[in-house]
Amino acid sequence: MDSVVLEIFLSSTLKIENLNGLIALLERHKYNKASYYQLGLHLQLHDNTLKSIEKEHKGQVDRCFTECLSHWLRKVDGVANPTIDTLIDALRGIGENAVADGINEQRIHSLPSNEIINQVRLTATPTSEVNENRPDQPIIQAGRCFIFGASMSEIHSNLSRSICFTSCL
């Protein structure tokens, strides 16, 4: 995998400098560029902004798609924080689940396992739930799934094998 895509996966916030890498990533996973308008809406771009892009580049789907991503990365319309997770959620929101799954799988398999742990630490929240099979085992909620482990080492091992991510997202 090229360093441009790895940089996207490691970035907490995506920037306009990531535009070419994002386009390449979406193309690699066979994203249908014709649905850029719906994607833009799910990325929190305003309808008027997307209409303006469409009018300015009428009939040029590739250019409209590129401008949509560019506006998102530049935080036009008050976009909060462009991240790879936001993009994956937006793809799911428009029914591009195979693309979202492919990008997520590529991210999981391309990140060094210690970076996966760091990302989980950033998004993990402790829970009061108890693992009925092993009440002594800590449970961490990360995103939409739970990671079980008797120790950080065991949790790290589970993450490395992508046990949680592939079945929970």
77-123 pLDDT per residue, tens: 999 899 999 999 999 999 999 999 999 999 888 876 555 445 554 44
pLDDT of res. 33 = 97
pLDDT value of residue 111: 73
Does the domain at 3-109 match CATH 3.30.420.250? Answer given as no
Tokens 């940089």 belong to: 7
- What is the C-alpha separation between 111 and 23, in angstroms, rounded? 20
What pLDDT sits at residue 30?
A: 97
Global pTM value:
0.67
Positions of CATH 1.10.533.10 in the chain:
3-109
Structure confidence at residue 10 (pLDDT): 87
Please state, as a whole number, how many other Cβ atoms lie within 10 Å of the Cβ of residue 71. 21
Instruction: Give yes or no for a contact between 26 and 32, defined as CB atoms under 8 angstroms apart.
Output: no
Please state, in angstroms and rounded to a whole number, the distance separating the CA atoms of residues 121 and 136.
20
Q: What is the dihedral of CA 86, 90, 92, 98, to 10 degrees?
A: -80
- pLDDT attached to residue 166: 42
Residue 139: strand pairing partners = 148
pLDDT of residue 167: 40
141 near 124, Cβ under 8 Å?
A: yes
Give the residue from 21, 1, 9, 74 showing the smallest Cα distance to 43.
Answer: 74
Give the residue among 134, 128, 125, 102 at the shortest CA–CA distance from 30.
102
pLDDT of residue 127: 52
DSSP 83-121: -HHHHHHHHHHTT-HHHHHHHHHHHHHHS-HHHHHHHHH
Residue ranges, the chain, pLDDT below 70: 1, 112-169
